[in-house]
Chain A
């Protein structure tokens, strides 16, 4: 397991020496650590303590802007370290600096400045506002959930004890946005001195290559240093089990909890066991999609530790989705009211996913843009606006089924093949057909239509082509005539597509 980390053994030991020295004096490190952690949350590229000799802004003017825009983490750090301090040049030294958090990753800046706000049309502004990444200050239609999480966290921070909460709901119902919104509000209260200070850490199960990497990420957010997971785990264990007089509450947000579950479930167990220690003052908020995840997937002792404080985010109704979209548009007239309503109703009928509604709206603005740029439209209607037609088109694009089109665009022989499979399924009454039976049907249909029958070899080729298009599900063609074939489209689709085709 140690080799799998990809870290040279020597560097682990070096960093462990540093760690031990720092960790013995528990009180002293608490304060610098806290400031560092908070800064790294708020502004990633901000410079931190005085011993830091690397400022990312220094390196950018030295670089030639004509270069291809690559993620120049490696190159920028190299140039900067060489011209600032001069001494560390070898890759291993640089790696050590990266691991100890002395160098922060930075991205190359663009040479050309971004366009100004003025030249934008109504539609463009609306499109920017409708982007999924623009999280509004207060989430509409989630006030109840916000209050729930807020009172829980505020109580835990005031009581200075630990606890867990489990938040669940289908994707796109505002779980993570609500929780981070609560944290932001609490942090504002801390700066106003109405609440004791607290640390905020965040991990996401999907961003980890392995469940145990969670320890590394948590430890890095606490101290800025990267160590191996065994080491990080023992240091975290030490931190959370030994009492320290000036420890502040730590709020840990665990997103995508179900990814962190492996067979042993040791990571989840540890993350949920630390809050039960009196010394830890750890509050864990876990987020996942499944409502009954604790009962379905977790072990009994883990479920018992997770507790019963749970909250479920229901999918948005069409009224709520409408409110969300109009809230984003913020009084802009780029959208017709009934257009928004159509989007909301269509999305709410399927999933109630806010991301999807926003995406469809964005697509509708693009379609409206394209329609307006055409000369015949722009002349008669100067006012750009998204109407029902545009939304209809966007919906058709995003909730469309392309299968009928695909069948229509098949070659003649492929269509005969599909017909033959359908006929064989009706004949036998079993969904699974063999190539042999299908081939007999092909012969019949071809004779009926007056077309020449393809040879079995060619029919196999057609079969594998349809299989790669996923219109059929078929086995490998080395089984030739005994291979099994399943329809991946419904029979009605085939009849519909071919009949409409015939009349043309």
Chain B
């Protein structure tokens, strides 16, 4: 069969540095975590202390998405230091079927044999195991906010395990929100031994993102592809907006992809030129074989950053001529109404009435109400509007989500906008 044969030459094609850089900038798990030394030390100290004292403890780790919480803990779970002294369980709470199902999953991970099949049996088996086991147990619950319910019975049960007599358990919960334990688990505050130790992962700073890029690129020996200036620019922008390293790596990868595309396009042009003038064939083919590495430019990085972070700006260039006319008229009518009327909640019916008058005045065939609703819906997908649904389509409300300047820029049809915005006569009944 074909798949067997082609399984071997997977690595055979010659990979250039762009591809290496692209691969090494992936957002999968990794071994080294530069920029998280402090947190790692703190976590290690916490584990060590509890291991030596044979004491239970709970920890809550919080932080924005993409700040390396899971990466740190999975690194520690794999580290040889704790490997034989502790029994380790990692559960991602999004992967359980229901909130109560977490016990079942724990039983499966711990190889426990519960008496029955109900949730309570599983819980009993776990508590029995906690009381009797001799080894320390480390439970990591990722995305623990998925376990929140109205009564929080599951979360309370889990966080009460460390205070069980004879239990030797270290419990680590990971989530995004800073105050999950304070906000949802108020009762834990009443008893100090129950309250989990809180640890926050701050968003990455500019220097940390630069370090991450450097360490990753050095791993594949392609550091020269990113000049320091471009790295500084990228890191400054990402750390200022979110400090999410997934985004930074994404943008880095995107820059490399675009640089490669542009270089390919350039090579293609050179080839075309060669075909055109056969005279210069010899020397230019030689020039090609050298395989010069073109480091990425500041302009390329800036272009990608603008595209990613300036949502409405890059819309302008895309839209230009492709914004349908009826949608343009609809938006202009909406702006006209918002500007001139006191009553700012605009229903679909009112908007349609004015829109019809505007259309008739311009000798354009107006759309029917049913069709018009569809048109407004299409504009909503661009994020310019929001429709608040009501019982009747005619009564649903239309809200402008951008400010007027942005819309003006996006429509890029100054004449039409000006003529409609002047047309206050259409508003009158």
Contacts and interface: CB of A to CB of B under 8 A. Distances in A.
Nearest to A399: B371
Interface stretch (A55-63, A309-317, A369-377, A446-454): A309-317
Contacts of A292: 311, 382-383
Interface in B127-183: 143, 146, 176
B4 A301 contact: no
Of the candidates A1, A168, A291, A304, the one having the most CB atoms from chain B within 10 angstroms of its own CB is A304
A351 B378 contact: yes
B26 interface: yes
Interface in B1-41: 1-7, 9-10, 13, 15, 19, 22-23, 26-29
A277 B4 CA distance: 24
B64 interface: yes
A332 to B, nearest CB: 28
A251 to B, nearest CB: 15
A351 B324 contact: yes
Contacts of A289: 381
Interface in B270-289: none
B66 A304 contact: yes
Contacts of A314: 318-319, 322
A411 interface: no
Nearest to A168: B381
Interface stretch (B51-59, B206-214, B246-254, B292-300): B246-254
Interface residues of B, number: 69
A161 B26 contact: yes
Contacts of B383: 290-292, 296
A304 B319 contact: no
A132 interface: no
B121 interface: no
Interface string B375-412: 10010111100000000101100000000000000000
A76 to B, nearest CB: 29
Contact of A301 (B27, B143, B321): B143
Interface stretch (B77-85, B192-200, B348-356, B416-424): B348-356
Interface in B87-130: 92, 94-95, 97-98
Of the candidates A159, A403, A489, the one having the most CB atoms from chain B within 10 angstroms of its own CB is A159
B346 to A, nearest CB: 12
Nearest to B26: A161
Contact of B95 (A191, A233, A296): A233
Contact of B22 (A1, A155, A277, A348): A155
Contacts, number: 164
Contacts of A488: 369, 392, 394
Contacts of B65: 300-301, 303-305
Given A159-B22, A349-B325, A350-B367, A486 B392 contact: yes
B3 A31 contact: yes
Of the candidates B10, B176, B356, the one having the most CB atoms from chain A within 10 angstroms of its own CB is B10
Of the candidates B247, B356, B369, B370, the one having the most CB atoms from chain A within 10 angstroms of its own CB is B369
A21 to B, nearest CB: 18
Interface string A1-39: 100000000000000000000000000000100110000
B261 interface: yes
Contact of B6 (A196, A264, A349, A489): A196
Contacts of B246: 304-305, 307
B310 interface: no
A187 to B, nearest CB: 11
Nearest to B365: A399
B215 interface: no
A490 B353 contact: yes
Contacts of B98: 1
Given A193-B9, A276-B27, A349 B324 contact: yes
B352 A490 contact: yes
A304 B247 contact: yes
A492 interface: yes
A431 B390 CA distance: 16
A307 B176 CA distance: 17
Interface in B247-268: 247, 250-251, 254, 257, 261
Contact of B28 (A162, A190, A230, A350): A162
Given A170-B378, A301-B143, 14 more contacts: A34-B3, A155-B257, A159-B26, A160-B23, A163-B26, A190-B2, A191-B2, A292-B383, A305-B65, A350-B324, A351-B378, A473-B395, A488-B369, A492-B356
**Which 5 residue pairs of A and B lie closest in terms of their CB atoms, listed nearest first?**
A401-B368, A304-B65, A292-B383, A278-B28, A349-B325
Interface of A: 1, 31, 34-35, 151-152, 155, 158-163, 168, 170, 190-191, 193, 196-197, 230, 233, 237, 246, 248, 264, 266, 269-270, 273, 276-278, 289-292, 296, 300-301, 303-305, 307-309, 312, 314-317, 348-352, 399-401, 403, 426, 431, 473, 486, 488-490, 492
13 contacts: A151-B257, A163-B26, A266-B95, A290-B381, A291-B383, A301-B176, A305-B65, A307-B246, A307-B247, A314-B319, A350-B324, A399-B368, A401-B370
